[in-house]
Amino acid sequence: MITFILPGYSPRNKDWADEVAKNLKLEGQIRPTYWDHWEDDTQSFKPKEKKDLIVRHSKGDSINIVAKSVGTLVAALIVKEVPDQVKKVILCGIPTVSAERLKIFQEAFANFPSQEVVVFQNQKDPFATDAEVKFFMKKVNPKIKVVSKERSDHHYPYFSDFNSFID
């Protein structure tokens, strides 16, 4: 089992990925992902390339995903590509509820077992509120649970919740 941690776009998210990796109490490998553009600003962030890289690194193994912000898009692309490999998915801070994002999420999660996915969204996340994300996820798959958290930022330090869900 490999647990991939897919952080947000900003280099500040490296700390979040490291914190999640340190606090997960799971069997198997835990792999925080560091985006190339954090170290080299000539690199551009291409979600499909990131998905391809992670699918190649999983080599057919069972995987869990903990994703935040733009990492949730990469997670959806992975689920869409290799749904049979994916066991549990935690999505934190979905940053946009656009029509384009909706289509990708529907393709990934409409038929994925809803009990294997959870969304954590801060009530007043500056990118998308919990109400916006609940409405969005109802269109994706109304059975997927969206957990509202009482914060007004884009930080998701819910490690005990992560462990409880994946365990």
Q: What residues contact 159, with CB distance under 8 A and at least 6 apart?
A: 19, 20, 23, 24
What's the CA gap between 46 and 50, in Å, rounded? 6
pLDDT in tens, the chain (167 residues): 999 999 988 888 899 999 999 999 888 889 898 888 787 777 778 888 888 888 988 888 999 999 999 999 999 999 999 999 999 999 999 998 888 889 999 999 999 999 999 999 999 999 999 999 999 999 999 999 999 999 999 999 999 999 999 97
The domains located in the chain, with CATH, are 2-166 (3.40.50.1820)
What's the CA gap between 115 and 17, in Å, rounded? 24
Residue 7 and residue 13 in contact, taking contact as beta carbons nearer than 8 Å: yes
Residue 112 and residue 105 in contact, taking contact as beta carbons nearer than 8 Å: no
Q: What residues contact 64, with CB distance under 8 A and at least 6 apart?
A: 1, 2, 3, 4, 26, 86, 87, 88, 89, 90, 166
Place of tokens 């990118």: 127
Q: Is the whole-model pTM more than 0.85?
A: yes
